Structure 1
């Protein structure tokens, strides 16, 4: 019968038995602890290291300020999550001289984990952006300028109980139309999923108005209606440049369920109940006006094609090449 014992503990035990003034600490059970970054050592060693042996260390630990305790916040009176049995008693409410209730001040140290999780990376990014702005002397790129002048929103729906094959024709039908016209098209469509597409169009329109401030109309009547040509070749009359239209519409596959399909002779097949999501990109009409003007300017700058261009004749010979 062999005893499994680490060699370093055997040496330490032998040294402890030989020395006359040795303690019997080697006889106490020793358990190793393993942390996320590696082995922390033996528990007896951790307890020994935790006790300061230096008077300077003891003095430093006494002077070291204690960490502030986190202050528990409070819920509103009309909150649906209010439950005293689960949350426990409320903290004491302080009252001003005028009898008004004092609001609890949030602790920035407790919020830093969510608001600023990686301060070093944030400082490096800010420094990089400052250097980039100095090099460019404050000049914006074309993409940044368009993001400042024109608004856009991407809205993705939940998964509809249909397939991509059935939803894609509706996505092609509403692409390029104004939101109001697309809603009317889905309202009178015979497709079953058209009802879900109509609801998502209304949700995307409301989201664009609330989040981006799009489609609010002009404050003055300085804009004159113009007729433009879209990239598909259709002629459109624009009366309000803030009108919302569907710039892009595409579908994406979602999760699917399985259900049995009972067939002849006792056979059972598995049917896939597919789901599909619809993504919409909404823009304002002034984006299409800009694109129309850019296409016209490009066409004007284009040189006229001629069958025999006027170019100098070179490499002439006085004899045939064959």
Structure 2
């Protein structure tokens, strides 16, 4: 027959018996907690929250810290660079750049010897170059070469594009297509071209046109005394020139750029390396006046060319009085 007693009562009796024999075991007594209004009160009310810390470093920091100005709604923040001088501190002294004595401080005078290290690192080489240029001017007596004269009389522009995401093999046909055409015609050709990269070539031609107008002043017209002429280009095409300042594509070529590598997964677990190539386009824009001059030079050269004969009439200088063929 078993005794039916609550387990809590059995534990309490055992603990009471143990404490009576050994009073040094008070933790064995059961502890009953009851929530009261006294437990909800703040036990730290006796500590003053406004009391200053006893750390001397903190006291020194608080003593040196500038007093914050009371912020007004709509005023500048304390971290603003336009804050009051009381917080930001005094302004630096003004520097007199002109050296008139108006400012509080003046800049130090420049030392040519110190500046020569960067401005004239090789004085002997500079003197040799200056001597060479003076001798060249004396020998030429101010006369310009033909190339220099053409540079002064005729204008041109070289414009290089960024790298297009295409290969040289695909871009070369477009470069050949626009070479020799007027700039407006080249833009129209690229506008209706079926090639994917033709869109970027068209944008580059428009950029080169704007650059030629702004930087070189090309294609602005202004020559009213010019009579229209019909010329023949170097490749044999006939062109009517009404405006000598009209732009045309003199040269166009391509150049390889950087490429990126990408894996190309093949059959049977094989992997090839596929290169994504880039190519740039460079064009040289000139005015129709240059093409007219080249046409006239070719015509003059053809007119001055001597007629070829099989046996020219020349004196016999050999010992025999007849030709030895």
Task: Give, in angstroms, the shift of residue 164 of structure 1.
Answer: 0.5
Q: Provide, for residues 49-74 of structure 1, a one-character-per-residue CA deviation record: whole Å limited to 9, x for no partner.
A: xxxxxxxxxxxxxxxxxxxxxxxxxx
Which of 139, 161, 164 aligns to 1:160? It is: 164
Whole-Å separation in 2 of the counterparts to 1:261 and 1:129: 59
Task: Give, in angstroms, the shift of residue 153 of structure 1.
Answer: 1.7
Which residue matches 1:134? Answer: 138
Task: Give, in angstroms, the shift of residue 127 of structure 1.
Answer: 3.0
Does structure 1 residue 316 correspond to structure 2 residue 325? no
Matches within 5 A, 1:268-307: 268-307=271-310
Which residue matches 2:104? Answer: none
> TM-score by structure 1 length?
0.62
Change in 2 beyond 3 A, CA 1:108/1:193? farther
Which residue matches 2:183? Answer: 179
Which of 259, 262, 283 aligns to 1:259? It is: 262
Q: Provide, for residues 2-58 of structure 1, a one-character-per-residue CA deviation record: whole Å limited to 9, x for no partner.
A: xxxxxxxxxxxxxxxxxxxxxxxxxxxxxxxxxxxxxxxxxxxxxxxxxxxxxxxxx
Number of residue pairs matched by the alignment? 225
Which residue matches 1:227? Answer: 230
Q: Provide, for residues 187-240 of structure 1, a one-character-per-residue CA deviation record: whole Å limited to 9, x for no partner.
A: 10000000111111111111222222222212x411111111111111111111
Whole-Å separation in 2 of the counterparts to 1:164 and 1:91: 61
Whole-Å separation in 1 of the counterparts to 2:169 and 2:251: 18
Task: Give, in angstroms, the shift of residue 122 of structure 1.
Answer: 4.2
Which of 194, 197, 216 aligns to 1:193? It is: 197
Query: Which deviates further from its counterpart, 114-123 or 142-151?
Result: 114-123
Which of 115, 128, 138 aligns to 1:124? It is: 128
Whole-Å separation in 2 of the counterparts to 1:196 and 1:90: 53
In our comparison, the structure showing a higher alpha carbon Rg is: 2
Task: Give, in angstroms, the shift of residue 93 of structure 1.
Answer: 7.4
- The answer for unaligned runs of 5 or more in structure 1 is 1-83, 97-103
Whole-Å separation in 2 of the counterparts to 1:243 and 1:215: 5
- The answer for unaligned runs of 5 or more in structure 2 is 1-80, 82-90, 99-106
Task: Give, in angstroms, the shift of residue 309 of structure 1.
Answer: 3.3
> TM-score by structure 2 length?
0.61
Change in 2 beyond 3 A, CA 1:193/1:291? same
Task: Give, in angstroms, the shift of residue 107 of structure 1.
Answer: 7.2
Q: Provide, for residues 285-310 of structure 1, a one-character-per-residue CA deviation record: whole Å limited to 9, x for no partner.
A: 11111111110110010012234433
SS at match of 1:232: coil
Task: Give, in angstroms, the shift of residue 123 of structure 1.
Answer: 4.3
Change in 2 beyond 3 A, CA 1:113/1:193? farther
Does structure 1 residue 148 correspond to structure 2 residue 152? yes
Task: Give, in angstroms, the shift of residue 92 of structure 1.
Answer: 4.1
Whole-Å separation in 2 of the counterparts to 1:245 and 1:116: 43
Whole-Å separation in 2 of the counterparts to 1:290 and 1:316: 48
Does structure 1 residue 238 correspond to structure 2 residue 224? no
**RMSD over aligned Cα, in angstroms?**
3.2
Whole-Å separation in 2 of the counterparts to 1:247 and 1:260: 40
